Amino acid sequence: MRSALSKTLRQMFSRPFAWVLIRAIGLTLALFAALFWAASHMLGALLQFDWHWLNMGLSILAQMGLVIAFVFLLLPVATLFAGFFVESIADAVEARHYPDTPAPHPLGWLTSLSTALIFFAVMVGLNLILLPFYLFLPGLNVILFLIVNAYLIGREYFELVALRHHDPDRVGKLRREYRGRIFLTGLLIAIPLSIPLVNLGGPLFGTALMVHTFKDIERRADLG
């Protein structure tokens, strides 16, 4: 695991990663800017009470709620964008560290996007269900948040990477057999993905780290 982390961190500042990072940050910021603009205009249209102080107070509360909502959505949105860039990042990692392994079968943008959208919906839905526990269990909420999202992130990233080399049945078998290792990798990915601004580069870090994890699992299973 230390070797995988070291290789990932060293490659994070390479030229291929930098170009993908610029695109990922641009898409993320553009999406949140559009959502904030739309929500602000919608609130402005709704807050039409006769009392200015009431409109002002409700507007401030609503904007605070928007900020909290956007912070909450940063992790699943960053994870969603992993599906957009998994091919570029995985190819760069494999070309540098595993040049002698069999070439992958590209997922295609439609498969990558549909897989990412499904996990995005599951992640948002499950975290909304657990939101009361996050709010009313101080201390334990962080642990619960990381455990739940480490499982979801580990599963998504592993499937996105592994499906480039093996069929879904084989990938599912590997995921079940090495679920502990995949969960640990998911936890290491979930931590930076949970930190605002840092998580803008989280999908790149997560994809690269999971490639190393997958290659090690593939080697242990004698499938390489």
Residues 6 and 126: their CA atoms lie apart, in Å, by 32
Inform me whether the pLDDT recorded for 220 exceeds 80.
yes
pLDDT of residue 17: 76
Is-above-0.85 flag for pTM?
no
Residues 118 and 8: their CA atoms lie apart, in Å, by 26
Inform me whether the pLDDT recorded for 219 exceeds 80.
yes
Average per-residue pLDDT in the chain? 79
Among 32-36, 129-133, 195-199, which stretch is predicted with the lowest mean pLDDT?
195-199
pLDDT of residue 176: 92
| Tokens at 104, concatenated | 């992958």
Inform me whether the pLDDT recorded for 47 exceeds 70.
no
Question: What's the one-letter identity of residue 153?
Answer: I
- Express each pLDDT in 106-158 by its tens digit: 777 677 777 777 877 887 788 788 888 877 888 788 888 889 889 988 988 89
Considering the chain, what percentage of its residues have pLDDT values greater than 70?
76
Residues 218 and 224: their CA atoms lie apart, in Å, by 6
Question: Taking the CA atoms of the chain, what radius of gyration do you get in angstroms?
Answer: 20
Phi and psi at residue 100, to the nearest 5°: -95, 0
